[in-house]
Structure 1
Amino acid sequence: MRAILAILGLAAVVVVVMASLGMLNLNLQSGSLPEVKLEGGKAPAVQADVGEVGMGTTNKTIQVPTVVMENKVIQVPTVEVERAQPAPAAK
């Protein structure tokens, strides 16, 4: 991708240099876009039959797992940090 952009950039520089040195003469003629005549139209008619979707709730008995919490004594890691003591001021 970079190579293509480099080639296009180099080509643009070459065209500008050739035109400025008089080695390339571009005769531009004015142009115009084609004329388009728009006339009134009509969108197509569409008829659609769609179904219904119903939402609701119902009561039902299902099995649900339960979680029991209990207290246990375990060892957990601890971290102790002591701050550095400031050095005494030199006299």
Structure 2
Amino acid sequence: MRKTSFVLAAVAAASFALVGCDVQKTREGSVDVPKYEVSKTQEGQVTLPKYDVDAPKVDVTTEKKEVEVPKVGVYTEKETLTVPKIDVTPAKDRDDKVAEKK
């Protein structure tokens, strides 16, 4: 249980960190792809096989049965845990040296 809540907190923190990003394009990109020419050298023919399939008949119904079911008591108690605390400052609001490089 503790591991699950820690993982959920980490995923939430990563999501908040991505929302706070400030992205600036610093260079234009370009892509040159090679050019190809393709020509047909012969005619093609495709014949797909045929199948006759007889599927089984399936009937799904319900019926009442009496079975023994274990009963478990559920209780909670307070416990002090160490959990991550995450503060996110969006990039445009930062006041450190990294944000000044814009």
- TM above 0.5, one fold? no
State the structure with more CA Rg. Answer: 1
- Normalising by structure 2, we get a TM-score of 0.28
